[in-house]
């Protein structure tokens, strides 16, 4: 076993590797950029080395700096985690040439699976079924359009390098193909340095099922069963589970054997995942699953496999990389129960899952049965430089029903304030009827997106609590007690204060009346809601509402208020007159940058007439492309950015004027 390893990554996966290494008595070296100087993985590691600026290209993607850091620290091996350099064959080769051990597969294995077109050809030779499509080298736009028409729409354009949904576009009509191809190529070039694509048939009712495989240097290969990763948005996984619902022993055996054949075909060593797409239009069938790609690294969703198989896959990685054989044979591996993983992101589902930044003013995870793999803690900031993952929440139980119940409860007990998050979306998704009954597919979220992402109006109790807190002043903490700030009574009538609440795009005007004895009421047009403070401890209050006691946690943030009540999160905000968000929602005159980013494409010039919804600017932020559209019909009056510019959050990118205004 290694005495010391360097972790060439950050965030959640770096923290995850540190935990196992510590358990095995292995010392760890973290690396960090300017943006991560106080990051959790830096504080958890035994030592840490600075490797560059916030830009990933100057830090976590710098092969030379990472290898130099390993040599400087005396580490004997490098663990790449996932993302960044984890599937970079040149990096793995450079690590070995430096006399260090790469904790992962050989450079040759990485290269064999690194380009999807070559990998599919190799899998066909190995007898692994592949998705119908074009996987060749010819990349001419007209030629690819012809191949797409031959395959039959809808088709999926996929970058041949990388993964994570980058460089991927679904195309339903020939007329849309060229624009989609351009966008996919651009995103692939930015993410992977390779703009080549392949074209595949898009299955109308697919499920994404993957098999965890593991090999050692003695030639042993096993599979650790399947994971269902069908719940996706923008081709990125949201909730994963193991085993897959509805899986038969016959199909599990067929998929497992195919995955092992794939691994043996490239002499695979270490942890890997063979991803399949299954056509479930007539249910799961062992003759209707197809190879998509192989991820030559540890997957983000590996904890669900650990839960049902009772193993530590990071420990297996370290043991295999140090020359030990696999800890278990195929016959010794069994499935125990059911597991789910939900990915908590800083993003706004109601705005197309737009990534979010901000400080985690409050972060609380459930206590008890849930496993939390997090790379941040309360007070940390979500920056625009890296993936906005906050944490992974994992549960395990004897049955799917029990595990799913645990997942929903754990999500409802999670509290996040200070940035937008997908928490409410995950709660609704965990209760979505098709998912609950075990019928997920990759199109489920798109079909149900309105129900899953729409901003729900707060109920009366949440409105009244928010109004009472707001009536207590605009302090950043609750040290000024809102429950007594109005005064218990007045000689000439009851104390009261007008309040305006903003929730999403809705505005509520009301008046808070102090009735005395910690009792408040808020009259509406057709009702009056009264609330009495029973007890208070820190940020949590126990209230009596119509004879029912409830607990509410209250957190102020710089421009708003967050309430956690009955397992739901209610966010109220105060409009900033300098912020363009309200204007964008209302269809105003200015196009505002939703976050810091790079201007990739400007599709208009000053004086151009545009229509509402027309794509005007494409920017890149947090590893994804964002297309910004016209807020209304009009003429471009001023254009403030050019392609290649870096822009800050809330910057005015362009302004419109009505078409008939000179």
Active site residues: 297
Give rounded-to-5 percent helix, strand, coil for the chain.
Answer: 30, 35, 40
Tokens of 68: 């130099």
The interaxial angle of helices 313-321 and 11-23, nearest 10 deg, is 70
- For the chain, the distance separating the N- and C-terminal CA atoms, rounded to the nearest angstrom, is 75
Q: How many residues are recorded in the chain?
A: 662
Q: Which of 599, 606, 604, 589 is closest to 642 using CA atoms?
A: 599
Tokens of 425: 């979306």
DSSP 211-255: EEEEE-TTS-EEEEEEEEEEEEETTEEEEEEES-TT--HHHHHHH
Query: What is the number of other CB atoms lying within 10 angstroms of the CB of residue 576?
Result: 13
Query: What is the number of other CB atoms lying within 10 angstroms of the CB of residue 424?
Result: 21
Tokens of 395: 């549960």
DSSP 526-540: S-EEEEEEEEEETTE
Instruction: Return the sign of the alpha-carbon dihedral for residues 332, 334, 336, 341.
Output: positive
What is the helix (H) or strand (E) element at residue 337, kind and residue range? Answer: none
Q: How far apart are CA 601 and CA 500, in angstroms?
A: 40
CB 522 within 8 A of CB 528: yes
Q: How far apart are CA 268 and CA 261, in angstroms?
A: 10
Q: How far apart are CA 254 and CA 373, in angstroms?
A: 32
Helices and strands in the chain: count of H runs, count of E runs = 18, 39
Query: What is the number of other CB atoms lying within 10 angstroms of the CB of residue 182?
Result: 14
Q: Which of 240, 268, 198 is closest to 340 using CA atoms?
A: 240
Q: How far apart are CA 98 and CA 71, in angstroms?
A: 8
CB 307 within 8 A of CB 243: no
Tokens of 589: 């005159």
Cα 138 to its chain centre, rounded Å, is: 33
Q: Which of 366, 218, 239, 368 is closest to 300 using CA atoms?
A: 239
């Amino acid at each position: 076993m290694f005495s010391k390893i360097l972790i060439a990554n950050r965030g959640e996966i770096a923290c995850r590797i540190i935990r196992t290494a510590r358990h095995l008595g292995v010392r760890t070296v973290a690396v960090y950029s300017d943006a991560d100087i106080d990051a959790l993985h830096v504080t958890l590691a035994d030592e840490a080395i600075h490797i560059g600026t916030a830009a990933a290209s100057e830090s976590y993607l710098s092969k030379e700096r990472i290898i130099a850091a390993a040599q400087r620290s005396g580490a004997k091996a490098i663990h790449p985690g996932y993302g960044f350099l984890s599937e970079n064959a040149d990096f793995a080769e450079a690590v070995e040439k430096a006399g260090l051990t790469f904790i992962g597969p050989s450079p040759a294995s990485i290269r064999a699976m690194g380009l999807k077109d070559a990998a599919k050809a190799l899998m066909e030779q190995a007898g692994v079924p592949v998705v119908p499509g074009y996987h060749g080298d010819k990349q001419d736009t007209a030629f690819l359009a012809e191949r797409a028409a031959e395959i039959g729409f809808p088709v999926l354009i996929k970058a041949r390098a990388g993964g994570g949904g980058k460089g991927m576009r679904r195309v339903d009509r020939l007329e849309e193909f060229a624009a989609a191809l351009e966008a996919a190529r651009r995103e692939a070039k930015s993410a992977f340095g390779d703009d080549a694509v392949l074209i595949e048939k898009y299955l109308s009712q697919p499920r994404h099922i993957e098999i965890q495989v593991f090999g050692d240097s003695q030639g042993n290969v096993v599979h650790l069963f399947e994971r269902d990763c069908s719940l996706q948005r923008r081709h990125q996984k949201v909730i994963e589970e193991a085993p897959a619902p509805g899986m038969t022993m016959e199909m599990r055996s067929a998929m497992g054997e195919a995955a092992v054949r794939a691994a043996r075909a490239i002499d695979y060593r270490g942890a890997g995942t063979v991803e399949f797409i299954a056509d479930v239009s007539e249910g799961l069938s062992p003759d209707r699953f197809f190879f998509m790609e192989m991820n030559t690294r540890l997957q983000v969703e590996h904890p669900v496999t650990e839960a049902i198989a009772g193993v530590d896959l990071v420990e297996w990685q370290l043991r295999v990389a140090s020359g030990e054989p696999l800890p278990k044979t195929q016959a010794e591996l069994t499935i125990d129960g059911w597991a789910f993983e939900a990915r908590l992101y800083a993003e706004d589902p109601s705005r197309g899952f737009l990534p979010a930044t901000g400080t985690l003013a409050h972060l609380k995870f459930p206590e008890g049965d849930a496993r939390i793999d997090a790379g941040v803690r309360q007070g940390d900031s979500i920056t625009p430089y890296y993936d906005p993952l906050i944490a992974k929440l994992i549960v395990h139980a004897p049955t799917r029903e029990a595990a799913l119940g645990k997942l929903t409860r754990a999500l409802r007990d999670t509290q996040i304030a200070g940035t937008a998050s997908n928490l409410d979306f995950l709660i609704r998704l965990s209760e979505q009827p098709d998912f609950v009954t075990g019928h997920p597919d990759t199109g489920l979220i798109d079909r149900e997106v309105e129900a899953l992402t729409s901003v729900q109006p707060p109920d009366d109790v949440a409105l009244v609590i928010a109004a009472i807190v707001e009536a207590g002043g605009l302090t950043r903490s609750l040290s000024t007690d809102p429950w007594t700030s109005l005064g218990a009574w007045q000689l000439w009538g009851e104390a009261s204060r007008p309040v305006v609440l903003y929730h999403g795009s809705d505005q509520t005007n009301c008046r808070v009346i102090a009735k005395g004895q910690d009792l408040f009421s808020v009259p509406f047009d057709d009702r009056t809601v009264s609330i009495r403070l029973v007890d208070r401890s820190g940020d949590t209050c126990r209230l009596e509402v119509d004879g029912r006691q409830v607990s509410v946690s209250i957190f102020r943030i710089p421009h708003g208020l967050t309430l956690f009540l009955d397992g739901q999160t209610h966010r109220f905000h105060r409009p900033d007159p300098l912020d363009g968000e309200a204007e964008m929602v209302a269809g105003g005159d200015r196009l505002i940058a939703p976050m810091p980013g790079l201007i990739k494409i400007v599709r208009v010039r000053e004086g151009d007439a545009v229509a509402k919804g027309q794509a005007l600017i494409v920017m890149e932020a947090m590893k994804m492309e964002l297309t910004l559209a016209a807020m209304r019909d009009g003429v471009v009056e001023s254009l403030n950015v050019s392609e290649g510019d870096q822009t800050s959050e809330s910057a005015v990118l362009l302004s419109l004027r009505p078409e008939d205004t000179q």
